[in-house]
Amino acid sequence: MLAGIAPGDGEPGIPPAPVVPAKVDLPPKNFTQNIGDTGVAIEMMYIPGGEYKMGSPESEAGRLPDEGPQHPVKIRPFWMAKVETTWDQYYAFWKDESLYQVKDIIDFPEDVQKKLTPDAITRPTNTYVDELYDHGQDGHPALCMSHHAAMMYCHWLRLKTKLPFRLPTEAEWEYACRAGSTGPYSFDPKTEKLEDYAWFLDNSATDKDTDASSVRAQDGLPTTHKVGTKKPNKFGLHDMHGNLWEWCLDHWDPKFYAQSPTDKLSLNPFNKLTEAKWGHVVRGGSWADKADRLRSAARRGSDKSWMKHDPQFPRSIWWLTRMDVVGFRVALPVEEYPELIGIKPMVWKKGE
């Protein structure tokens, strides 16, 4: 019996799009959310709403053109995961046999196949190489998944928790990263050091805060490290600088900031998703990056080269290849923005 087929049904049990509230009835404080009956939980940190200047000033060292112009932004309160999504959290989704993989329905009747829509909750296909890429597993952040995979994970969380989990918007991510700071990082570089807050190229080649499964650490190579082992920012969030780049909800546009006014507040500016497989925004830098790419305002957009090592055709919509610098963490709005209510994965067909 294929995963996702209920006994006696004779056809796949395709979970409907989760119905979640637009406003969450929870107190404004940190909490731990159990993920259904998986035995896995997520620690969520409360992020009070506020205003800030998004982007970086032209005088900031390491600044790139896509970080400006700076523009004032207002963010509503929300929760963000304390740490990046770990392998145990992601495995709970990937190995959920109550779901099915897209390939499972290829040989089913056409009327059954038509039930597969962007709303359908599917689980990732298997990787064609080891998913760890020689990094650690226990306590380490999950990596190398596509934007679609991160989106579907959030969709699955909605099904399991009945709460409107999603990826953070780019504006929310930077606000949460800055935690009230205005400089290049979330701390004062005059009195504190980046290595106290981040795993990056200068310090990640160590077996400290990793585990025996990390081949790279044992070989003295730069690598990921267990989440939450560096200092948190003032919102209590760990690894916002370094360890892994983190997917944001937004579609990538290097000139998007120019669409927001510089003389008045914009409410959570969001670059609308499309059905295009590329590109999407990642933030925060990784274990393999130099310090300037870990700045709060640093941005990067995904593109086809992130899949150039995938020998399959058509190429996977679930896994990147050798892009073991990308992961994600989840967000939960207190009150969802109208344009984001019911947001769901947009890419659901294989392609380049």
Domain architecture of the chain: domains with CATH = 31-340 (3.90.1580.10)
| Burial track 240-261 (b if 16+ CB lie within 10 A, e otherwise) | bbbbbbbbbbbbbeeebbeebe
The full length of the chain comes to 352
Name the more confident of 296 and 3.
296
Summarised one tens digit per residue, pLDDT across range 41-88 is: 999 999 999 999 999 999 999 999 999 999 999 999 999 999 999 999
Name the more confident of 99 and 261.
261
Q: Which of 201, 211, 284, 279 is nearest to 241 (CA)?
A: 284
| Confidence (pLDDT) at 4 | 39
Average pLDDT, the chain: 90
User: Taken in order 92, 97, 103, 109, is the CA torsion positive or negative?
Assistant: negative
C-alpha–C-alpha distance, residues 82 and 330, integer Å: 9
Task: Write down the pTM of the prediction.
Answer: 0.93
Name the more confident of 316 and 319.
319
Sequence-distant (6+) residues with CB within 8 A of 102 are: 116, 122, 125, 348
| Confidence (pLDDT) at 8 | 34
| Confidence (pLDDT) at 9 | 42
Burial of 198: CB neighbours in 10 Å, binned 0-12, 13-18, 19+? buried
Bridging pattern class, strands 50-54 and 78-81: unpaired
Lowest pLDDT segment from 21-35, 92-106, 274-288, 315-329: 92-106
Name the more confident of 113 and 312.
312
Kindly state the percentage of the chain with pLDDT values over 90. 75
| Inter-CA distances, 83 with 188, 220, 330, Å | 21, 24, 9
